Amino acid sequence: MGKFIRTATVAGVLGATALLAVPAASATPTATGTTGRAAPECVTDSQTYEYGRGEIKVCVENGQARMTGWVEDLLPQVGWWGGRDGACVLWRVTFRTTSGTEREGSVMACPHLAGPAYKEFDFTSDVQNITGIEKMSLTTSVF
């Protein structure tokens, strides 16, 4: 009887250990967020300013980022340097990488350079070895 109890106890401990190990073994590592905690695979943001507005979603997988969303220039007068603010509107994303921080901009809404005032984008970032997203901001750029 004592041998049966020991065998049942060992089997129970091994079974419980196996059940506890499954979630940890199946968990996938994620990029580190700005707070130092594990960040979700995708980060979204939307911002509106007097010069423009937009939404962005950045998904990081295997060290590369897919960037999707839209931007709109709200001061869009057409013609070279004719915009009321003289600037294009874009999302700027700062990534943390294995070699430091790198910044990248999205597709621009640039009506004063003969582009549309509203622009959608969906592309894979050129930045490699991404470990996290440090900052996303809607901004302007003058050429």
Instruction: For 42-82, write each residue's pLDDT tens digit.
Output: 999 999 999 999 999 999 999 999 999 999 999 876 555 55
For the chain, the domains span 42-141
User: Is the full-model pTM beyond 0.85?
Assistant: no
Which backbone phi and psi does 38 adopt, to 5 degrees? -65, 130
Listed in sequence order, the residues at least 6 apart from 100 whose beta carbon sits closer than 8 Å to its beta carbon are none
Query: What's the order of all strands across the beta sheet hosting 88-97?
Result: 100-105, 88-97, 130-141
Instruction: For 98-112, write each residue's pLDDT tens digit.
Output: 999 999 888 888 887
